[in-house]
């Protein structure tokens, strides 16, 4: 009969969806994200205000399909928000130490929730509005790109992906964000998008960022994803493609 459970069997646990990101309003800057595809993989992005002058943001790529890793995504977001706010809220918080500890906490939670090894490349940054700097770690994620004037630099990996080793922690580093600059993150799906077996690649992401108008963070994200969609030979995408951008206005 409908509505009755079979005796001796437990219902499958319901996956918990991560909270949809509502990005904070920044002083003298903008932050936004955009995605395309079927949202079937493990891309997760978020940004929250953790103090009067600090905003925490990140992009996580959990291995596996979304319907199989929802609980990992939810647990990671809870740690990202709760521990991030706790570590970075004090005015005298050392941002490098706080980001390193946040990396450790995320790593432990992913291992615990997954019940073992579960590769989860991640990039997380803390933007300081007063100083115009970003303190970040890159745990085996696609390099972030920072554009200022016509120059673009890469923020490569500072450690191994999360979810591999219990004591693994990526090194936290600092980068300045001068007025008129932009920091952009893309998921692996962007770099690996193909046409005739040739990937879009990070070099094309960099070229897109160089041509993108820095009028707003959302515009930068859409500009890059539009270039990816024009490049691929067929849709729908087999993987999520996600872009996140932090743009500091020229008048900041």
pLDDT digits (tens, 9 = 90+) for 163-178: 999 877 799 999 999 9
Whether the CB-CB separation of 147 and 176 falls below 8 Å is answered with no
Q: How many CA atoms lie within 13 A of 121 on its CB side?
A: 18
Kindly state the average pLDDT of the residues 142-156: 95
Kindly state the average pLDDT of the residues 177-203: 93
Can you tell me whether residue 194 is helix, strand or coil?
A: strand
CB-count exposure of residue 58 (10 Å: 0-12, 13-18, 19+): buried
Whether the CB-CB separation of 139 and 160 falls below 8 Å is answered with yes
The yes-or-no verdict on residue 83 having pLDDT over 60 is yes
- pLDDT at position 251 is 76
Contacts with 191 (C-beta within 8 Å, 6 or more apart), sequence order: 142, 199, 200, 201, 202, 205
Instruction: Please name each of the domains of the chain with its CATH number.
Output: 29-248 (3.60.40.10)
Contacts with 245 (C-beta within 8 Å, 6 or more apart), sequence order: 30, 31, 32, 33, 182, 183, 184, 185, 217, 218, 220, 221
The yes-or-no verdict on residue 9 having pLDDT over 60 is no
- pLDDT at position 112 is 95
Least confident residue range of 40-49, 78-87, 107-116, 216-225: 40-49
User: Residue 57 corresponds to which tokens in the numbers above?
Assistant: 């943001």
Task: Give just the sign of the alpha carbon dihedral 15, 218, 221, 89.
Answer: negative
3-state helix, strand, coil split of the chain in percent (to 5) is 30, 30, 40
- pLDDT at position 12 is 39
- Edge to edge, what strands does the sheet with 181-186 contain? 29-36, 241-248, 181-186, 144-148, 151-155
- Whole-number percent of the chain with pLDDT over 90: 70
**Could you count the other beta carbons within 10 Å of the beta carbon of residue 8?**
5
Contacts with 62 (C-beta within 8 Å, 6 or more apart), sequence order: 42, 44, 69, 72, 73, 76, 110, 118, 120, 163
At 59, the pLDDT band (50, 70, 90 cuts) reads very high
**Cα separation, 184 vs 33, whole angstroms:** 10
pTM comes to 0.88
The yes-or-no verdict on residue 238 having pLDDT over 60 is no
Alpha helices in 3-156 (DSSP H): 66-88, 95-114
At 223, the pLDDT band (50, 70, 90 cuts) reads very high
């Amino acid at each position: 009969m409908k509505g009755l459970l079979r005796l001796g069997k437990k219902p499958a646990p319901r996956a918990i969806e991560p909270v949809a990101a509502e990005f904070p309003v920044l002083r003298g800057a903008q932050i936004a994200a955009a995605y395309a595809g079927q949202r079937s993989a493990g891309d997760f992005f978020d940004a929250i205000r953790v103090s009067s002058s600090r905003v925490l943001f990140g992009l996580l790529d959990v291995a596996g399909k979304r319907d199989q890793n929802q609980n990992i995504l939810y647990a990671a977001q809870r740690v990202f928000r709760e521990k991030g706010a706790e570590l970075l809220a004090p005015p005298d918080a050392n941002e490098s130490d706080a980001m390193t500890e946040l990396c450790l906490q995320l790593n432990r939670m992913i291992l615990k929730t997954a019940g073992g090894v579960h590769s989860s490349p991640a990039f997380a940054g803390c933007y300081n509005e007063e100083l115009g700097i970003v303190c970040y770690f890159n745990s085996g994620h696609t390099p972030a790109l920072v554009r200022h004037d016509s120059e673009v630099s890469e923020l490569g990996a500072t450690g191994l992906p999360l979810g591999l080793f219990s004591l693994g922690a990526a090194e936290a580093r600092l980068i300045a964000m001068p007025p008129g600059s932009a920091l952009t993150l893309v998921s692996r799906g962007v770099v690996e998008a193909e046409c005739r077996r040739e990937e879009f690649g990070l070099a094309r992401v960099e070229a897109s960022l160089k041509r993108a108008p820095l009028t707003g963070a959302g515009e930068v994200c859409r500009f890059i994803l539009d270039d990816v969609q024009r490049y691929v030979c067929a849709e729908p995408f087999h993987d999520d493609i996600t872009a996140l951008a932090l743009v500091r206005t020229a008048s900041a």
